[in-house]
Structure 1
Amino acid sequence: MLQDLSLNDVVMPKCYTRVVWIYNYKIDDLEKPLIEFLKQHCPTAFWQIIYDDKKPDYGQLKESISDSNKIFSRTEKSDISISHYINCSFQELDVFPYSHMPTDTSPLFFLHQVNVHDGTLLAFGIHHHFTDGYGFFTLIDQFSKWICHRDHSKVIPFNYDRSLLKPGTEIRYEHIEYTLTPFIFYIKEMPSMEVLVKRYTKQELFNKLKITSMNLSFNDVLVAWLTQVISRIRQIPSNETVTVGMASNGRNELGIGLNYFGNCNFFVCFQFKMIDLLNKSVDELANQINAEKKQRMTKDYMTSGLTWLEQASSTVYHGFHAFLGKDLAFTNWSSFPLYQIDFGQGTPRRVALPPGEWDGLILILPTETNEVELYIGLKQDHADELRKQFE
């Protein structure tokens, strides 16, 4: 059996989404329960994705003849206390069995269980062409609830029908979130980069930035503020434009149901004139984001975007060039139940990203409190300057 990926699956970055959950209690070995759960509720996790080089932006899910052993792995570290992983830098959390780039032979979904002296680390990952962050975290949340109750009837069934993401009849908008032109940068060697981790509450940041508009979300202000401060640090010329890509879940707008499993993740793009980033307040910039996202996060706009993808004559790229460029990309997971995932004796003490270096990407995670946790990846000199501003 073959199943075509949706247009929106294959234009997402070809990478793993990887996150580690850290618990201060021991969790029984999860290999058999995980395999049982996946076979019942997400059987395509055992499949593979195949691509056709002759067809741009195309892929298929195909039943795999390989065994399922790659989905689960384990490590024993009985001489280490869980307190080490609760308190260490995220750059020390090198517990993942696969790097950020999946291969033709690596699994679509995996769990690596690390058993330490007095706790457990669960390192999950999923191929981004398989599903988006919403699908990923919903799958893990469902698995944790099933572990506690072992009742298949209480697991909400996923909808795997990728044909639900239907293109419209015509292209009705200028879709700046897509381009057919690859971004090429010329460097002799990769520069050093650093990821800064910073926490804020909504009220703390709004007070700091003197936000007075009542209709702005925490995300509006975070995107406006970091776009402004990072663009200034990068010293982008005042006559240029900065493009910002922001990942957004389109399930509600498209009316396909929150149980849709696949990529219903659309990148909304904002364009800022650098002269405005130099002269306008964060309040004004956040209002621009708030207004433009309402125009683009509609069923009409998204189906027009799918039509644009369907009619593309060559490989599609995202219209923002964040990595070693002048643009930025944001992914906000702060509304997902990362800190509610309980494997029987309580919620996690910490949820973190894998170690890594990147430039121009900001990830926003929830915390165990009302703060959000920002992971801000920049070139080293820009990261050093941003750290000074934080301090």
Structure 2
Amino acid sequence: MVMNVEIISKEIIKPSSPTPHHLKNFRLSFLDQIAPPFYTAIIFFYDSNQDGLNGDQFERSSSLKKSLAETLTRFYPLAGTLMCEDFSIICNDKGADYIQARAPCKLSEVVEKPSEKVLIPLLPFDPYSNFTEVGTKVLLAVQYNNFDCGGVAVGVIFSHRIVDGTSVAAFVNAWAGTSRGATEIINPSFDTAVHFPPREIPGFMMMAQTNTKEKIVTRRFVFDKSSIDSLKNEASVAFGPEDRAPSRVEVVSTFIWRRFIAIARANPAKKTKIFGAVHAVNLRERMVPKLPAHSIGNLWSVALTASPVEVEKDYPSLLRQVRNAIMEVNGDYVKKLQDGQLDFMKKASEKQTKGEIEFCNFTSWCRFPVYEADFGWGKPTWVCSPSRPCKNVVVMMSTKDGDGIETWVNMKEEDMAMFEHDPELLSFASAAAGE
């Protein structure tokens, strides 16, 4: 299925109130400096049987635009212009792109068989193909899609240069609360650069990079509660009674990492000697003192662990490695980051460039309250963050019931041909539609 979305209108939504002069120049942090040069995209689906969707679609769109303007007043940097030279944002109230569109099908046709070909057209533009062209021009863009059945999808794109997943959830829920007339709306905090001032970091590259010469494909695999419980039970031998039980994210990500290693071991053409796991870790709750969830910016770093490809480690041992790596992202770790100590990242990036190590990169949105985004139509029936353009990147999101995990796995085409037919993987996860 190919989605031919019809664009009805395009406009710019400016903040409802001008940004005060003393806030016009907004500095980004050095964690923003090293954030991936991509966009982050998220799509919220609302089924037509929800009471709030019985009204006129243009009235709903007008309400969205009005509340977006009010929200941009609070989140004023998102309505500005990124200045790459001095890595700052000029908060000039330029505004955010807003598109109203018609999707000529039923919402269920997309939700039941999601793929890149049907999801990307629900966004204002392809967030992963043209960042170099529009990355400094567009910091936030929205597309409001009406389906023939009466359902709605709201696709939102953010520049990863200025926000992370926690920031995305904070913005969308503030916008949704404003739209439905909630009495309490968060006031975001924009002091990331105070904690992590910008600095010169020559030669540094993030480990998850796009390689335009490689064909990257995306597949979705869903782990339900029973499968996750089985993985937890299998991993329990690595933990004592005094240990915290492994989380859903730990067991699923370790399982996928182990299957990545198994594929590398089975492929004689692969020359990589070491396979590593990289987990994005939210720093807000690990800082001393902790920062609130509404602190906006790239407040995350990475936990690294690795295993030799030729050494077959059991699942519980790999899980213990992952747990230990994540636990090392603590207050002391944050202090080293604040001092600009990035040697461990640089060395890992250099080894990857030389082909000495290959990484499986995990980012989890499982704890983000994305299913709370009620614009006045009720909570979403499904939320997704579509594919990433990087090989070996896994995006994890909770299922709507909160018990399972949807994983969006991005791999080279030849690797995915083995991964998606792996019997052990399919004994725990159900495969959904691909491209």
TM-score, with length taken from structure 1: 0.83
| SS of match in other structure, 1:326 | strand
Question: How far off its partner does 1:357 sit?
Answer: 5.1
Could you tell me which amino acid in structure 1 is paired with residue 124 of structure 2?
Answer: P
Structure 1 counterpart of 2:364, from 309, 321, 332: 332
When the two chains are superposed, the root-mean-square deviation of aligned CA atoms in Å is: 3.2
| Mean Cα deviation higher: 139-148 or 344-353 | 344-353
Q: How does 1:239-388 map to 2 (within 5 A)?
A: 240-254=273-287, 255-276=290-311, 278=312, 280-295=313-328, 297-308=329-340, 321=352, 326-354=358-386, 358-369=390-401, 370-388=403-421
Q: In structure 1, what is the equivalent of residue 126 of structure 2?
A: 99
| SS of match in other structure, 2:45 | strand
Report the CA distance shift for 1:319/1:13 in structure 2 as closer, same or farther (over 3 A).
Answer: farther
Report the CA distance shift for 1:352/1:308 in structure 2 as closer, same or farther (over 3 A).
Answer: same
Cα distance between partner residues in 1 of 2:40 and 2:342: 25
| SS of match in other structure, 1:261 | coil
Q: In structure 2, what is the equivalent of residue 116 of structure 1?
A: 147
Q: How does 1:198-213 map to 2 (within 5 A)?
A: 198-207=221-230, 210-213=234-237
Cα distance between partner residues in 1 of 2:205 and 2:167: 29
Q: In structure 1, what is the equivalent of residue 13 of structure 2?
A: none
| Cα offsets for 1:40-74 (capped at 9, x unmatched) | x211211111112xxxxx611112364x2x42111
Aligned pair 1:138/2:173, yes or no? no
Report the CA distance shift for 1:196/1:182 in structure 2 as closer, same or farther (over 3 A).
Answer: closer
Cα distance between partner residues in 1 of 2:342 and 2:414: 41
Contact preservation (8 Å) 2:34, 2:206: no
Could you tell me which amino acid in structure 2 is paired with residue 293 of structure 1?
Answer: I
Q: In structure 1, what is the equivalent of residue 98 of structure 2?
A: 72
Report the CA distance shift for 1:210/1:316 in structure 2 as closer, same or farther (over 3 A).
Answer: closer
Report the CA distance shift for 1:183/1:128 in structure 2 as closer, same or farther (over 3 A).
Answer: closer
Contact preservation (8 Å) 1:320, 1:327: no
Cα distance between partner residues in 2 of 1:387 and 1:51: 40
Report the CA distance shift for 1:258/1:192 in structure 2 as closer, same or farther (over 3 A).
Answer: closer
Cα distance between partner residues in 2 of 1:158 and 1:184: 29
Q: How does 1:29-68 map to 2 (within 5 A)?
A: 29=61, 30-39=64-73, 41-52=74-85, 59-64=87-92, 66=94, 68=95
Could you tell me which amino acid in structure 1 is paired with residue 398 of structure 2?
Answer: P
Question: How far off its partner does 1:309 sit?
Answer: 5.5
Report the CA distance shift for 1:104/1:204 in structure 2 as closer, same or farther (over 3 A).
Answer: closer
Structure 2 counterpart of 1:224, from 254, 262, 280: 254
Equivalenced residues, count: 363
| SS of match in other structure, 2:411 | strand
Could you tell me which amino acid in structure 1 is paired with residue 151 of structure 2?
Answer: G
Aligned pair 1:84/2:115, yes or no? no
Report the CA distance shift for 1:248/1:190 in structure 2 as closer, same or farther (over 3 A).
Answer: same
| SS of match in other structure, 2:322 | helix
Cα distance between partner residues in 1 of 2:271 and 2:342: 36
Which runs of at least 4 in structure 1 moved beyond 6 Å after TM superposition?
A: 181-185, 236-239
Report the CA distance shift for 1:181/1:162 in structure 2 as closer, same or farther (over 3 A).
Answer: closer
Cα distance between partner residues in 2 of 1:226 and 1:184: 17
Contact preservation (8 Å) 1:110, 1:125: yes
Report the CA distance shift for 1:9/1:318 in structure 2 as closer, same or farther (over 3 A).
Answer: farther
Contact preservation (8 Å) 2:208, 2:390: no
| Cα offsets for 1:233-286 (capped at 9, x unmatched) | 12377982223221111101112222211111111211222244x2x2111110
Could you tell me which amino acid in structure 2 is paired with residue 125 of structure 1?
Answer: I
Question: How far off its partner does 1:148 sit?
Answer: 1.4
TM-score, with length taken from structure 2: 0.75
- Structure 2 gaps of 5+ residues are 1-23, 240-244, 427-435
Cα distance between partner residues in 2 of 1:65 and 1:158: 17
Report the CA distance shift for 1:316/1:143 in structure 2 as closer, same or farther (over 3 A).
Answer: farther
Contact preservation (8 Å) 2:44, 2:154: yes
Cα distance between partner residues in 2 of 1:74 and 1:354: 20
| Cα offsets for 1:211-247 (capped at 9, x unmatched) | 2245322222222221221122123779822232211
| Mean Cα deviation higher: 261-270 or 142-151 | 142-151
Could you tell me which amino acid in structure 2 is paired with residue 261 of structure 1?
Answer: I
Cα distance between partner residues in 2 of 1:311 and 1:269: 13
| Cα offsets for 1:325-359 (capped at 9, x unmatched) | 72111100011112222222322122123356542
Contact preservation (8 Å) 1:338, 1:366: no
